[in-house]
Amino acid sequence: MFIIFFTSSLTLIISCIVMIIASLLSKKTIMDREKNSPFECGFDPKGSARLPFSLRFFLIAVIFLIFDVEITLLLPLATIIQMTNLFSWTITGLLFLIILLFGLYYEWYQGALDWSY
C-alpha cells in the first residue's frame, strides 16, 4: 500500500514540476505588433482575424461529432456477431441504440437541433 502511495505521489510531484518548468520556459518575452498580428502573405490584414461565427452552427457541429463517434462505437457490433452469444449481442446493441435515441430526443426537445430560433 505504501509503494502505491509513494509512486503516485512521486508521479504527481514530477508532473507538477515539469508543468511549472514548461510554463516558465515557454513565456514569450518579445511583444511585437507584427508577431501578434495575423499573417496574410506578408501584407497587413484587410479585416479583423477575430470574425464572429454562428454559435448555432458550432453547437450542431459538436452534436454531430458526438453522435458520429457513438456510431463508430456501434460498428464493431457487426464484426463480433459470430463470436458472441446472440442474446447478449442483441441486448448490448439495443441498449446502446436506446441510449443514443434518448440523447437525440433530448437534444431535439431542448431545441438544439433547430437551425433558426
H or E element at residue 74: helix 55-74
For residue 77, the tally of other CB atoms under 10 A from its CB is 15
What average pLDDT does range 67-95 have in this prediction?
Answer: 88
Q: Write down the pLDDT at residue 52.
A: 76
- Among 116, 117, 112, smallest CA distance to 61 is for 112
Assign 3-state DSSP to the chain and report helix, strand, coil percentages, each to 5.
65, 0, 30
What average pLDDT does range 97-101 have in this prediction?
Answer: 90
Half-sphere CA count of 55, side-chain side, radius 13 A: 2
The pTM of the whole model exceeds 0.85: no
d(CA 66, CA 54): 19
Domains of the chain listed by start with CATH number: 2-110 (1.20.58)
